[in-house]
Chains A and B, each alone.
Chain A
Amino acid sequence: MNQQQQQALRELYRQTRDEQPSQMLDRRIRQAARQQLLRRRPRWIWGLSMAAVLVLSFSLVLQLGVQDAGPPAEYEQELRKPLSSTTQEPPESAPAPAPASAPSGAPSSASRSAPGMKKELFRQSRQLADEGEIAAQASEQQPADSVQSRGAARTLDPASGQGPGDTMPAPKSQLAPDAVTRPVLPVLPVQASAWQALSSALTVIELASDRLEIVHKGQKILNLKRSEQGARFKAWPGSEFIGVKADWSVNRHQFSDCHTESGYQVCVWGGDVQAVFDGTRLDHLRWWQAQ
């Protein structure tokens, strides 16, 4: 078969090419192709959005985890141990301290936790801490009567006849917020007479032979338990009057705005300024040191 015949055959064949797929079929196929493209795009966007959601969720969880951390569990247990059997509720007339399990979102705490307030509290705490350290240094150099309460405390020690083991050592880092205007106690007296002598504003209630309750202006501010090793105490708001900064009633609240200062981490905790050392509140350290 020659080329001409082949060409003629092909030409004839081309004339048969008159059929076409229907337009409906064309539309269906093009539609399927478009949908496939659309499906592929959202998959990419979906992946991106999922990643964003995961990152946000993770950061949120981290944030909540930090906020909900609160004090260590063993701290909570220890808080309940010492004076739970003897602790009396404060008088009704006085504002009762919030329970240790108070929710962290209390309005007052929240309002106090405002950034500006936190900064201010932190600034004040730094100032007070500095002043406290200065006062503590000064108290070692000056006569006992230069600071009334400190002098009283010093005079109390020999009067009580207690050895060093009967008194609590002062914490390393003082966070004495009212160091200037209120008495600062380097040690806590363990005798009722010493507390009475410290200030006439204090009422000392002997709960038991080894347990004291210190009340100031009708409000329980301190429970003290003597032991052979020394003493342990639990403080409530108002204990600043005797130089104990131990706002334990809000110890359920979160750490935030922590700063490292003089080896201690100073944090805004529950809207109050507290010192934290190695993840533990300084009050907690004080408490242990008091044991």
Chain B
Amino acid sequence: MQGEVGDDTLYADWQAGNMSAFDALYARYRQSLYLFLLRRGHDRAAAEDIFHDCWLRLIRQPQAFDAGNFRAWLFTVARNLSTDRFRQQRRHADEPLADVNAAGDSCSPQQSAEDRDCIELMKQGIAALPLEQRDAFLLKEEGGLALEQLAQVMHTGRETIKSRLRYAMQRLRSLLEDCL
């Protein structure tokens, strides 16, 4: 990040009419935001849909972000939209949210570990994490958020975040022991 133009600067430039600033900002978070949504448990279409809505909210309601950490704000919006989508899915399909949270459990990654490569196993392992641990892991890995920012985004304490991260890593390690 050294020497890189800050998010706030790019955002302000875009607001001042500089489209290339938006392009730079978009390129910076394009993949990480999309992967965050995809790994959170959405299929590709839903992830793209939420991704689109998230950026449109920034574009059409720029006043929604007035100050603070742009990265944290962006991932907070994405997480909220994603949660709304989960709720809608549960309401329409009468599918309990717990099932979404435990989507990976049905894959029995441990049983099929031998047949799959480590990358696929990792994907399944993340999907199998409880949603709160998954969020903490993904927001840290994809969003690059620090503990304080994670606590702010997830509306919980710093120690809780640390615990969730620790449990997530432990579960992944136990799942991917053969790959490490």
Residues of A within 8 A of B31 (CB): 17, 19-21
B55 to chain A, nearest CB (A): 5
Q: Select one of B19, B48, B126 contacting A22, CB under 8 A.
A: B48
Asked if A54 is at the interface of the complex by the 8 Å CB criterion, the answer is no
Q: Select one of B35, B55, B141 contacting A29, CB under 8 A.
A: B55
Asked if A141 is at the interface of the complex by the 8 Å CB criterion, the answer is no
Chain B, residue nearest A6 (CB): B169
Residues of A within 8 A of B62 (CB): 36
Q: Select one of B17, B35, B123, B172 contacting A9, CB under 8 A.
A: B172
Asked if B119 contacts A33 (CB within 8 A), the reply is: no
Asked if A45 is at the interface of the complex by the 8 Å CB criterion, the answer is no
Asked if A1 is at the interface of the complex by the 8 Å CB criterion, the answer is yes
A75 CA to B24 CA, complexed, in Å: 74
Residues of B within 8 A of A13 (CB): 122, 126, 141
Residues of A within 8 A of B126 (CB): 13, 16
Asked if A137 is at the interface of the complex by the 8 Å CB criterion, the answer is no
Asked if B22 contacts A33 (CB within 8 A), the reply is: yes
Q: Select one of A5, A17, A26, A32 contacting B173, CB under 8 A.
A: A5
Residues of B within 8 A of A172 (CB): none
A21 CA to B36 CA, complexed, in Å: 11
Asked if A9 contacts B169 (CB within 8 A), the reply is: yes
B49 to chain A, nearest CB (A): 9
Asked if B52 contacts A29 (CB within 8 A), the reply is: yes
Q: How many residues of B contact A (CB 8 A)?
A: 35
Asked if B23 contacts A30 (CB within 8 A), the reply is: yes
Asked if A8 is at the interface of the complex by the 8 Å CB criterion, the answer is yes
Residues of B within 8 A of A25 (CB): 48, 51-52
Asked if B38 is at the interface of the complex by the 8 Å CB criterion, the answer is yes
Asked if B59 contacts A36 (CB within 8 A), the reply is: yes
Q: How many residues of A contact B (CB 8 A)?
A: 27
Residues of A within 8 A of B26 (CB): 26, 29-30, 33
A6 CA to B126 CA, complexed, in Å: 14
A56 CA to B179 CA, complexed, in Å: 77
Asked if B55 contacts A15 (CB within 8 A), the reply is: no
Asked if A41 is at the interface of the complex by the 8 Å CB criterion, the answer is yes
Asked if B14 is at the interface of the complex by the 8 Å CB criterion, the answer is yes
Chain B, residues 27-44, CB within 8 Å of chain A (1/0): the string is 000110011001000001
A139 CA to B48 CA, complexed, in Å: 102
Residues of B within 8 A of A5 (CB): 173, 180
Majority secondary structure of chain A interface residues (helix, strand, loop or mixed): helix
Asked if B12 is at the interface of the complex by the 8 Å CB criterion, the answer is no
Asked if A36 contacts B60 (CB within 8 A), the reply is: yes
Asked if A20 contacts B119 (CB within 8 A), the reply is: no
A48 to chain B, nearest CB (A): 16
Residues of B within 8 A of A15 (CB): 118-119, 122
Given the interface contacts A5-B173, A17-B35, A29-B26, does A10 sit within 8 Å of B141 by beta carbon? Answer: yes
Chain B, residue nearest A31 (CB): B59
A30 to chain B, nearest CB (A): 7
Q: Select one of A12, A19, A34 contacting B34, CB under 8 A.
A: A19
Asked if A9 contacts B176 (CB within 8 A), the reply is: yes
A6 CA to B173 CA, complexed, in Å: 8
B155 to chain A, nearest CB (A): 25
Asked if A28 is at the interface of the complex by the 8 Å CB criterion, the answer is yes
Residues of A within 8 A of B108 (CB): none
A227 CA to B22 CA, complexed, in Å: 89
Asked if B156 is at the interface of the complex by the 8 Å CB criterion, the answer is no
Asked if A114 is at the interface of the complex by the 8 Å CB criterion, the answer is no
Given contacts A1-B169, A9-B176, A19-B44, 17 further A-B contacts (CB under 8 A): A5-B180, A8-B180, A9-B172, A9-B180, A10-B141, A12-B179, A13-B122, A15-B122, A16-B119, A17-B31, A19-B31, A20-B34, A22-B48, A25-B48, A29-B56, A29-B59, A37-B17
What are 21 A-B residue pairs whose CB atoms fall within 8 Å in the complex? A1-B170, A9-B172, A9-B173, A12-B122, A12-B180, A16-B122, A16-B123, A17-B35, A19-B35, A19-B44, A21-B34, A21-B48, A25-B51, A26-B30, A29-B26, A29-B56, A32-B59, A33-B55, A36-B62, A37-B14, A41-B17
Query: Chain B residues in contact with chain A, CB under 8 A?
Result: 14, 17, 19, 22-23, 26, 30-31, 34-35, 38, 44, 47-48, 51-52, 55-56, 59-60, 62, 118-119, 122-123, 126, 141, 166, 169-170, 172-173, 176, 179-180
